[in-house]
Structures are given as structure tokens and as C-alpha cells.
Amino acid sequence: MTLQLGFDLRDQALERLESNRAHWIATARRVARQVCKEEGFVTADAVRARLPIPPEYDGRVMGAVFCKSLFQKVGYKATTVATSHGRPVGIFKAKERA
């Protein structure tokens, strides 16, 4: 598999999530913006703490929340979700709305 094919497959998966989980993703984005307003940055852990991922959803739905047009990744930190074993999660800042 080429690198570009990998990016294309990722983008297609995110598009499917955007349409299949639109309401939850929109709500999660509002929560993420609120956390940014309060704390200056946001992580998936912070969003999950306020808006748990529904049990029937795959946890990777968080990837669709932090789309590049709305948020900018500024770093990484270890997750606080015990079952994720301290893996790194992105730290994001909300982009200014035009």
C-alpha cells in the first residue's frame, strides 16, 4: 500500500463517520470548542469526560471530531483512559472561525 492510498482510505473512513454519526460528532465538536475556551486546548480525553462515546460506536470516532479545518494539533500527551495504556493522544487548539 502506498502512503497516498493510506491517506485516501483514512479520508474515506472519516467521510463515512461524518455522515453516519453526524449528530454525535457535531455535539462533540461543540464540547471540544467549549473545553478550548475554558482551558486553552482540548484532548479526546477531555471531550470523552463530558460526552462519553456511545457504547455502540467505535472509539476512533474521535478522529472525526478533530478535523483539520476546525482544530490544529499542537502536541501530544499520554491518555488518561486506563484501557488505552498511556498511548499518546493529540492536544488541539480550536482554529478561529472566519
Nearest CA to 70 out of 19, 38, 21, 31 is that of 31
Looking at residue 1, its pLDDT comes to 64
**Residue 23, helix vs strand vs coil:** helix
pTM: 0.83
98 pLDDT band (50/70/90 cuts)?
A: low
Highest mean pLDDT among 2-6, 19-23, 44-48, 58-62 belongs to 44-48
pLDDT band at 19; cut points 50, 70, 90: confident
